[in-house]
Amino acid sequence: MRERLLFIVTVAIIVAMVPLAYWFFFERELSVDEQGGYTEQTAPKPEPAPPLAGPEIPAALAVADVKGEVEISHGGGWARAEVGQVVDEKDRIRTGLDGLAVLSKPGVFSIELDSSSEFEVRVLTETANKFLLSKGMLQADVLGEGKTKLEVEAGHVSARTKSGTFRISVDRRGQVFVGSRRGKVEVRGAGKVVKLEAGFSTTAEKGRPPSDPFRVPRNLLLKVSWPSQRVMSRKRLALAGRTEPGARLKINGKLVEVDGRGRFRKVIVLREGSNYVRVEAYDAAWRRKVLKSPRIVIDTKADPFQIQTSPEMWEKRRAKDKGG
């Protein structure tokens, strides 16, 4: 009986020693230190596997910046546009006389909508983006390596690029102007295709094909007839002048209409005291010219001209009449 008990105890001890022996011979690592001894090292724990990457979400087109009056419509009425708003197909955006809006699809393209302009989003995909400019001017900047095509339609003309920067404008008569600043831009209209290199422009009258590419003169024409009087008693001032057809013009930051010959006339209201009027002309070819008026003083509080009389004067007059 005693021998059987001893046997059972021995077997139990051996079984208990198996995990310890496994760790001692297989898991434990030893390294030799500088004195020739052994240092025990523990095997590092395996790092967890990185999480599986999900499908890449394409960047959305959103309002990146607004200045002045900018409104957006999601298919219904108009509301004030806010930075960060997502813009989708069929949405429309319009700017006031002093408005400016920037839309961005990060890493893909950006659009800057000029004052007194309106456009609509037609198509938004990863490879194709189409917009309709119904009035005004916009600037499109396409980034990347030609993976995305951007197209803007204005009147009967469309401009497109896969990697470039261009401006396109349409006036109230339906005349379209397109200018390329970077890359290659293809312009189509009335059955004709024109390809613009950087620094070239084209124009198309309503219903007619775009002109052959041309380089515009460096300087933009701008003339203003300033008032001859520098001190005025009225606040309203009529300004007239001329710029080049197709150019856009602002007086003190607000857009002013220009006719087909580049002429303009606008009545502005000045404030009491000293005034300076700023006139700016710019176009789709990135030309820009600014003129500043001489100092104009408005003084509406000056005393009106009066005739001063006295009783003595009338007495002398009556005495003279009697003596005569």
pLDDT of 221 over the 70 cut: yes
Average pLDDT, the chain: 86
Q: What is the DSSP string of 185-196?
A: EEEEETTEEEEE
pLDDT greater at residue 323 or residue 211 = 211
Domain around 282: 222-298
Contact 157, 179 (CB under 8 A): no
Under the banding of pLDDT at 50, 70 and 90, the label for residue 301 is confident
- Region 98-117: mean pLDDT is 96
Under the banding of pLDDT at 50, 70 and 90, the label for residue 18 is low
Reading the block at residue 255, the tokens are: 């857009």
Q: Are residues 196 and 276 in the same domain?
A: no
For residue range 132-167, list pLDDT tens digits in order: 999 999 999 999 777 899 999 999 999 999 999 999
Tell whether 157 is covered by a domain.
Answer: yes
Q: Which of 178, 204, 230 finishes a domain?
A: 204
Q: Are residues 36 and 71 in the same domain?
A: no
Contact 126, 58 (CB under 8 A): yes
> Which pLDDT score is estimated for 49?
60
Give CA 139 to chain center in angstroms.
Answer: 8
Rounded Cα gap, residues 173 and 265, in angstroms: 18
Q: Are residues 26 and 76 in the same domain?
A: no
Q: Are residues 104 and 11 in the same domain?
A: no
pLDDT of 82 over the 90 cut: yes
Tell whether 217 is covered by a domain.
Answer: no
Q: Are residues 199 and 227 in the same domain?
A: no
Total number of domains constituting the chain: 3
pLDDT of 42 over the 60 cut: no
pLDDT greater at residue 125 or residue 11 = 125
